[in-house]
Amino acid sequence: MKAIPHCSFCARPQGEVGLLFRSSVGAVPPYICDDCVAGYAVVVEADRRSRELAAGLIREWNTAVDNQQSGRTKPSTPHEVQP
Ligand SMILES: [Zn+2]
């Protein structure tokens, strides 16, 4: 009896899924269906966006710190005594 290929992630057999992608590695190559690919793509996209958001916040923070520091290095108070 020949086993029906099924998604290694959700276990749904070929015929219940749209597309079934087969890995090219392993003695018993794993499969992944289009639904699982789409599901993981959403997770990957969300992860990428959260990384970009975090990187943006770090950039903003660094810029704010830089501005604060450069503000301190060139004081221009009215009480400053000019030579
Ligand atoms: Zn699947």
Ligand 1 is an ion; its neighbours by CB within 5 Å are 7, 9-10, 33, 36
Average pLDDT, rounded, for the chain: 89
- Contact by Cβ (8 Å): 20, 9: no
Q: Indicate if the alpha-carbon torsion angle 62, 66, 67, 68 is positive or negative.
A: positive
Cα of 23 vs centre of ligand 1, distance in Å, is 13
- This prediction has a pTM of 0.62
Indicate whether 52 belongs to any domain: yes
pLDDT on residue 46: 97
Q: Which domain holds residue 50?
A: 35-72
Question: CA-CA distance, 22 to 10, in Å (whole number)?
Answer: 14
Indicate whether 1 belongs to any domain: no
Indicate whether 27 belongs to any domain: no
Indicate whether 7 belongs to any domain: no
Number of separate domains in the chain: 1
Among 51, 56, 14, 48, smallest CA distance to 34 is for 14
Mean per-residue pLDDT for 24-44? 94
Indicate whether 10 belongs to any domain: no
Indicate whether 54 belongs to any domain: yes
Indicate whether 77 belongs to any domain: no
